[in-house]
Amino acid sequence: MPITPIDILHTEFKPAFRGYDKAQVDEFARAVREALEQALGEKSELARQVESLQDEVDRVRRIETAMTDALTMAQKSADEAKANAHKQAELILKEAENSRITMMVETQKEVEKNRVDAELIQATRDRFETEFRGMLKAYLEWLDRRGSESEEKSASEVA
């Protein structure tokens, strides 16, 4: 059972033959009581400080937990963003490859169309040239016949 300062103050000793000096014992009991009161006061203050420090430790631990959770979430978000960026990059590359293939096919079609058009133009030019040569030849023959007829007419009129 713990002894309190009040217990010390109210403790009385029975007188005995050849006992201790009562004033000296009372003075010592008062000094012990004061020392015990001071010790208990310090103990109470230390307990209050321990409680305060424990509250501070708990607060720091909550902050640490919150920061760890935030860091974990940030890392998870960064990983997700990185994965999404890779997926988008792959989609862009696939779209670019599809566009390249489409452009190549369209270009090949246009080249073939241009080749066909060039052949058609060449054939048209060749036909025009042939027809024009034929027409020129016919005009030259006509002119030659006309010129010979004119000479014959002139010669027959002179004679």
Query: What's residue 84's pLDDT?
Result: 98
Question: Could you give the CA distance from residue 35 to residue 83 in angstroms, rounded to a whole number?
Answer: 70
Number of other residues whose CB lies within 10 A of the CB of residue 25: 14
Give the span between the Cα atoms of 102 and 110, in whole angstroms: 12
Contact assessment for residue 33 and residue 9, using Cβ atoms and an 8 Å cutoff: yes
Q: Which of 31, 52, 87, 132 is nearest to 60 (CA)?
A: 52
Instruction: Output the tens digit of pLDDT for each of the chain's 159 residues.
Output: 677 777 777 777 777 777 777 788 888 888 888 888 899 999 999 999 999 999 999 999 999 999 999 999 999 999 999 999 999 999 999 999 999 999 999 999 999 999 999 999 999 999 999 999 999 999 999 988 887 877 777 777 766
- All structural domains of the chain with their residue ranges: 5-117
Q: What pLDDT is recorded for position 47? A: 97
Q: What is the pLDDT of residue 22?
A: 78
